Structure 1
Amino acid sequence: MTAPVLPRAEPEAVGLSSARLRRIGEALRREIEARRLPGAVVAIARSGKLAHLEAVGWRDPAAKAPLQTDAIFSIASMTKAMTSAAVLLLVEEGRVLLGDPVSAYLPPLAELKVAEPGGGLRAPRRPPTIQDLLRHTSGLTYRDRGTTPAHAAYPGSSIWAAECMSKEETIAALAKAPLLFDPGTDWEYGFSTDVLGFVVETVAGKSLGAFLAERLWGPLGMVDTSFTLAADKRSRYALALPVDPVTGGANPAIHHATDKRQLWDSGGGGAVSTAADYLRFIEMVRSGGRLGGVDVMGRGTVRLMTADHLPASFIDKIADKMDPAAAGYGFGLGFAVRRQDGIAAMAGSAGDYYWSGVYGTYYWVDPRQELAVVFLAMAPGQIRLRYRQMMRNLVYQALAD
């Protein structure tokens, strides 16, 4: 059974102001006219109904090809939440335990070592677990997250590794790369979710893409979400500006789905999707694991996934290491989770959860306000941080109840 299309509703019927929602398009057009943004698609659901779907700007800025609402984007780290959900589906079946050491599923990772501050390696106080991978407390990192010898020991980005190394080579490289700290003692963004993808493949006996298509994308009707871009969909693929609008230099290297085929499915950053597809995924989570009568995840599993799993002492880790506007956020099993109203330099509510993609994509869910929002743009570089805050403010100012 496939979930039906999200029902449409006039904004006022779900407590949103049409007049105030128009400010979203107006603000984005100003960014496009200033050549800071090629284009964007915004999808807003409230109370389970699609109240706003808008595309502005260009799909291909060089060719002046207009952006449509069904444009396909490389969503980068927005892939992570779906991979995390895949792991939790296996947890629901008793096939994976959150407290299991990662090496129970990937034996080469049994020999992981921790980098000592003064140089050298030592055994970790305990091995990284599945929960550590989900909440990014494993000690794994990305090469570009620092300049230490430990960082340099890692492969390139998830996408680089997926395009240039086999899965076995990637696992072997990660087994040799040092952890930055003892698992569970700090928070660090990195290859953790790609390792989760390898765990899914080991347990399920199929590729991550095949598992997600069977258990998530298919049931939710996410027809344009995949790790590959079909030839007949390439005309819908969104491209970035060639020049970084902040630095004036070339934009950071972007994985385009029309480029090299991945040798393995990167659970940390390899998927493509549309605003409508991804909205269906996060609306399923907001609705407690169901969408349109289709049961995808258990309500208790969703509560576990969207709860904060970081100690209180980790209060500013997300803001310090990833997103300066996210003060006061913790991290659940796949999402950053807001611990209280206020503190963060962006609108929201205690209990809201979000994440983003390095190329400029972003989403969040606010259970208290019954909101689910997807913002898709090809806007890499530091300017993407501005758009995260801007979209939050534009959506919350449109609340009318």
Structure 2
Amino acid sequence: MIELTGGGLSPKGLDRMRAVMAGAVERGEVPGLVALVYRRGETHAVATGTTAVDGDVPVGRDTIFRIASLTKPITATAAMILVEECRLRLDDPVDDLLPELADRRVLRSIDGPLDDTVPAERPVTVRDLLTFRLGLGAIFAPPGTYPIQRALAETGIDRGPDGPPYAADEWIERLGALPLVHQPGAAWMYHTSADVLGVLIARAAGRPLDAFLRERIFEPLGMTDTGFHLAADKLDRMAVSYQTDLETGAIVRRDDPRDGAWDRPPVFLSGGGGPGLITTADDYLSFCRMLLNRGRYDGGRILSRPAVELMTTDHLTPAQKAGNEIFLGSGGWGFGLAVDSRRDDLATRPGRFGWTGGLGTSAYTDPAEGLVGVLLTQRAMSSPRPPRVFQDFWTTVYAAIDD
């Protein structure tokens, strides 16, 4: 299914995008997908494949997907709402609301024992969490390489998209018992900062994270199919999640909405994406269009223009990015999302911002082109590098620009 209605994108180019997306499904790269391209008031949609490898239910625009780390920009937006209301301040320590993170210790070396530490040079701030410079996060080395890595695994603090088996208070207490890898503010480390930010938002707002997101973001933007769980009558619209068997290369089932895990809130409401939010392509497009419109939506504002501009500016120095090029690619990091700084192929553009989700989702906004692209699939990524279908989507989108 494809809709071709203008917006400065050529019908021929959009038809090529449809064919390339359909080809990814036909080759078995993904079971199904929904792709939306928005430009100048026009939305173009492709939905192809099935919600399950062994099923016959076609993917549609209303299919619900797990979006994993696409949760992160939404969490950052929620934090900026509280910053604008002066309930949080970017450079204030988080100690008052997160006493578990006060008086941090920092490892002398990443490969050292957990008790070989020095005092933190300063407290962790809200800005550190938004820019992923907490000093602790995902460590991309073979499992068990470092003592801190083993401790993170043994305590269940970071279990990827499955999420920890603890509620927020216990999770942050366990995290606070571990030393940092880097001094606060010194280096970008993936993921954990967003989960800490989710706990901070809930405490600053005085209500659970899901309630705050629903009231301040989802309901205003009409994101009626977005949340941490689903009503029972929506479960049949949710796609089965798959991953790659690294030994055989086969697509294997990761989790299934019929297993009963999605009709109730998870134990841990993750601001980072483990387990993260579930949504539709159109719901997420509504969120991205709000950012494209610099905080404005049809009913008013979620954020001010200056807040969105601050969110979507690269805040990292070269030293803070070092060693993370495989993640950050042609750019840097704003608040909860990546920001492209150069064009090094046809799938990127300076100033474009957004992110990808490890379970097979991607969404970016290009203010200079007035463009949003959302691509939702249900196959998890098997490496930090985005799969070919993501790159092909953006290559064909940019190639369709006809003005």
Task: Tell me the TM-score normalized by structure 1.
Answer: 0.89
Which amino acid counterpart does residue 376 of structure 2 have in structure 1?
L
Q: Distance in 2 between matches of 1:125 and 1:286?
A: 38
Of residues 268, 272, 276, the one that matches 1:268 is 272
Counterpart of 2:123, as a letter, is P
Structure 1 portions without partners, runs of 5+: 1-8
1:139 pairs with 132, 135, 140, which one? 135
Going from structure 1 to structure 2, the CA distance change for 1:122 and 1:316 (only over 3 Å counts) comes to: closer
| C-alpha separation in 1, matches of 2:178 and 2:91 | 22
| 1:250 positional shift | 6.1
2:73 counterpart letter in structure 1: A
Instruction: Give aligned pairs, total.
Output: 385
C-alpha change, 1:151 and 1:303, in structure 2 (3 Å) is same
Change (3 A) 1:199 1:252: farther
CA distance in 1, matches of 2:161, 2:173: 17
* Aligned mates of 1:28, 1:171 — CA distance in 2: 41
After TM superposition, give the deviation of residue 381 of structure 1 in Å.
Answer: 2.8
* Cα 1:82–1:38 shift into 2, 3 Å: same
Report 1:319-330 matches (<5 A).
Answer: 319-320=325-326, 322=327, 326-327=329-330, 329-330=331-332
Structure 2 match to 1:228: 229
Instruction: Decide whether the 8 Å contact of 2:64 with 2:225 is kept in 1.
Output: yes
Structure 1 distance, partners of 2:302, 2:210, is: 16
Residue number in structure 2 paired with 1:4? none
Letter in 1 for 2:352: D
Q: Distance in 2 between matches of 1:241 and 1:315?
A: 31
| TM-score normalised according to structure 2 size | 0.89
Tell me which residue corresponds to 2:398. Answer: 396
- Report the residue type matching 1:56 in the other structure: T
Q: 2:363 corresponds to which letter in structure 1?
A: Y
1:299 aligns with 2:305: yes
Q: State the one-letter code of the partner of 2:292.
A: R
Aligned pair in 2 of structure 1 residues 130, 366: CA closer, same or farther (>3 Å)?
same
CA contact (8 A) 1:143 1:156 kept: no
The Cα shift of 1:388 comes to: 2.1
- Tell me the distance in 2 between the aligned counterparts of 1:39 and 1:93: 41
Structure 1 contact 114–124 (Cα < 8 Å) conserved: yes
Counterparts in 2 of 1:80 and 1:241: CA distance versus 1, 3 Å: closer
Cα shift at 1:156:
3.0
> For residues 306-321 of structure 1, what are the structure 2 equivalents within 5 Å?
306-314=312-320, 317-320=323-326
Contact 1:158 1:268 (8 Å CA) reproduced: no
Root-mean-square deviation over aligned CA pairs: 2.4
Distance 1:145 1:294 in 2: 45
Give the alignment of 1:47-196 within 5 angstroms.
47=40, 49-117=41-109, 118-119=112-113, 120-142=116-138, 147-154=145-152, 155-157=157-159, 159-162=161-164, 164-196=165-197
* CA shift for structure 1 position 214: 0.6
Q: Please report how far the alpha carbon of residue 332 of structure 1 lies from its aligned counterpart in structure 2 after TM superposition.
A: 0.5
SS of residue in 2 equivalent to 1:206: coil
Q: What is the letter of the counterpart of residue 128 of structure 2?
A: D
1:6 maps to: none
Gap change, CA 1:288 and 1:109, over 3 Å in 2: same
Q: Structure 1, residues 85-107: CA drift from partner, whole Å, max 9, x if none?
A: 00000000111011112222110
Whole-Å Cα distance in 1 between the matches of residues 37 and 208 of structure 2? 31
Is 1:20 aligned to residue 22 of structure 2? no
Distance 1:24 1:139 in 2: 40
Decide whether aligned partners of structure 1 residues 196 and 24 sit closer, same or farther in structure 2, where only a CA change above 3 A counts: same
Q: Is the 8 A contact 2:222 2:283 kept in 1?
A: yes
Identity %: 35
Match of 1:206 in 2: 207
Deviation at residue 15 of structure 1 after TM alignment: 0.6
Gaps of 5+ in 2: none
Alpha-carbon deviation of 1:173? 1.1
Tell me how far apart the structure 2 counterparts of residues 54 and 115 of structure 1 sit (CA, whole Å): 49
